[in-house]
Structure 1
Amino acid sequence: MTESSTSTPAAGTARPPAAARLDAAAERQRGVLRERVGRLLQQHGALMVLAVLVVFGSVAFESFATADNAISVIVSSSFLAIIAIGMTFVIISGGIDLSVGSLFVLGGVLAAYASQAGTLTALALPLAVCGLFGLVQGVIIARTGMAPFIVTLAGMLGARGLMLAVSHEGATTYLVEDRAFAALGQTGPFGTGLTWPVYITVALALLGMLLLQRTGFGQNVYAIGGNEDAARLMGVPVARTKILVYTMSGLLAGLAGALNAARLSSGVTILGVGLELDVIAAVVIGGTLLTGGVGGITGTMAGVLLMGVIQSLINQVGSLTSAVQQVVSGAFLALVVIAQRLLSRAQGIT
């Protein structure tokens, strides 16, 4: 009589093909899930954190969840948001623009100086000058291959130098003399308390989304940021696209400065110091990778509002100085960059 025995695989032997295929399929499924979660957090993480902070502030501070405070945060954030829209295009393309803070204050001084000739002149002069700065920087970066950091650093110094020349070393503060231009920064439609710069920001954000997602220009920006050499081989007009994004950045910085001058009724010369870092921080917090190729306007708007809410929460405490906001923003930015690195790995982005 023979004994029947059940054979078991010896240690170290290969698994049956069917089991191996099931394991491979499960691993692929987990990889797809990690990639989806990483992409979701990358794109909408700032919005999620913003929602959490709004809920926290509403519970912790009675004066936080009021219409007046919400309007204040939105209005004060609109100028930063306008500049951040242009910076989003620049960073997605793999570049950086350090000149926007100086162009912001230059735009404000030029707008106040030109306001004596009317609203159109007060808007046209800063747009022309700041747009020209952006155009020149874009041409140098695109045609010579110089690092954007160096070129825009020179632009930052040049724009501030021009502002000091126009304002007689900062000694002259030009007042906005045109009432219609001043009303552009201080009033708004529908009686909501939201001023015109807010509506202009919304319109520009929608236009930016359309350009990035629905046009060949936007796809070129993503392609250049993802891999410039590959984009060039595919026939993408790399130089022209770079020139356009830096020109756009200069124009929007000048526009934000002009609108801020209208709000303040003067071209204040001490503004804009370090503003470029706040703009970059807002864009990066919103999910745009500093390495380029990934990002969007929606995330940038969430990043701008998130920084505004953080500032508002600090103001609610009352006993904290403005320096605390810089510390909190810096620490938060560092955490975001680390998180972005981890999320990029999860998505297979190097």
Structure 2
Amino acid sequence: MTRIHLARMVGSYGVLIALALLILFGYLRYENFLGLFNIMSVLRYNSMFALVALGMCFVIMTGGIDLSVGTVAALGSVAAAYASPYGPVAGVVAGVAVGLVVGLINAVMITRMHIMPFIATLASMLAASGTALLLANNRSVPVSYQSGFTELGQGNFIGLPIPAIIATIAFILGWLVLNYTATGRGVLAVGGSEESAKLMGLPADRIKTLAYVASGGLAGLAGVVLAAQFGAGQPIEGVGWELFAIASVVVGGTLLTGGVGSVGATLAGVLLLGILFTVLNFENGLGWISLSAYWQSVIRGAFLLVVVILQARLVAGETTRT
């Protein structure tokens, strides 16, 4: 077994084991941890991060990175809020369209202008943030409560939060694309070695374009859920979402170097981080510790650092051996 295969197994199974142990810990320690209200709240709130992480997963599997997802979600929430008086469909179309446009711009900068993904998406991150603030006049944009738009974030369907259903459908589609289509195999091939993929006749630029456009569209959809859930477009929201997405993807075993990844393990990574923050909130309630919300960023960074170091050692060891 190669070290890269070991990294994949550690990510896929390690995150599931950690998730199960964390849930067991919470069940044994806190009253109502597995109560219906808490479960529904976790699923509803973390659906936004799940959508962003799904797009990030495909981008990272191509060997790239998308730093713009948080501010694109904020911009999408503003666009959706302005369109919300015309109904839920109009709100979804507006938010997703904004994300698709930013994703396409990222793709053009990376594939046509040959700008490094880090720099290209950093530029679009700043541009999207400024655009959101300009459109919203530096304030929250209230949504329409009469059009039914808020049901996308606050409503339930067959007893489940609608945001969680949206995220579940997106992950099922992502899993099918990755595992059963030529595009999915192309994503992994390009991430493994872009030059080799081109020699095999794969349209590397088109595959990367699809990945970045999908990432932008999913970030825009997360913005729609954000606006519907909180009742307003939030131009200053989304700060640190890219870190949450990257941490979820990497904790799930996707290599930052590309070529290896799992949609299912990414979802497990989202749930692991989301439930971990829920545990901290419960612990605050017991009074044993007192951690502010800012500690979430510290924990995300620590998770990311530990897993990246582990991945780097495994891959470096495999490179040295070969």
| Fold shared per TM-score above 0.5 | yes
Task: Choose which of 291, 305, 308 in structure 1 pairs with 2:257.
Answer: 291
1:86 lines up with 2:67 in the alignment: no
Q: 1:266 to 1:238 in 2, by over 3 A?
A: same
The Cα RMSD (Å) is: 1.9
Q: Could you tell me which residue of structure 2 aligns to residue 130 of structure 1?
A: 99
| Deviation, structure 1 residue 132 | 0.8
Give distance in 1, aligned partners of 2:304 and 2:200: 35
Query: Residue 269 in 1 paired to residue 240 in 2?
Result: no
Distance 1:324 1:295 in 2: 28
**2:299 matched to which residue of 1?**
328
Identify the residue that residue 21 of structure 1 maps to in structure 2: none
- Structure 2: which amino acid aligns with 1:119? P
Tell which structure's C-alpha radius of gyration is larger. Answer: 1
**Once structures 1 and 2 are overlaid, which stretch shifts more, 122-131 or 171-180?**
171-180
Give the count of matched residue pairs. Answer: 316
State the secondary structure of the residue aligned to 1:322: coil
1:304 aligned onto 2:275: no
The one-letter code sitting in structure 2 at the alignment partner of 1:155 is S
Provide the rounded CA distance (Å) in 2 between the counterparts of 1:93 and 1:160: 25
In structure 2, the CA distance between the partners of 1:273 and 1:34, relative to structure 1 (3 Å rule), is closer
Gaps of 5+ in 2: 285-289
Distance 2:253 2:191 in 1: 14
Task: Tell me the residue number matched to 2:220.
Answer: 254
1:180 aligns with 2:148: yes
1:115 matched residue in structure 2: 84
Query: 2:129, 2:235 within 8 Å by CA — same for their partners in 1?
Result: no
- Partners in 1 of 2:83 and 2:5 — Cα distance? 51
| Residue 39 (structure 2) aligns with | 70
Q: Conserved in 2, the CA contact under 8 Å of 1:310 and 1:325?
A: no
Alignment pair present for 1:160 and 2:129: yes
Normalising to structure 2: TM-score of the pair? 0.92
Question: Hey, what's the Cα distance between the residues in 2 that align with 1:329 and 1:273?
Answer: 13
Which residue does 1:15 correspond to in 2? none
> What residue is the counterpart of 1:147 in the other structure?
116
Q: Please give the per-residue CA displacement for 1:180-204, whole angstroms capped at 9, x wherever unaligned.
A: 211121111123xx31110111111
Answer whether contact 2:68 2:124 (CA < 8 A) is retained: yes
CA distance in 1, matches of 2:152, 2:218: 16
- Structure 2 Cα separation of the partners of residues 129 and 39 of structure 1: 34
CA contact (8 A) 2:73 2:219 kept: yes
Task: State, as a whole percentage, how many aligned pairs show the same letter.
Answer: 44
Greater Cα shift, 175-184 or 112-121? 175-184
Normalization by structure 1: what TM-score?
A: 0.85
Amino acid at match of 1:221: V
For 2:8 and 2:53, the matched residues in 1 are separated by 22
2:196 equivalent among 205, 218, 230: 230
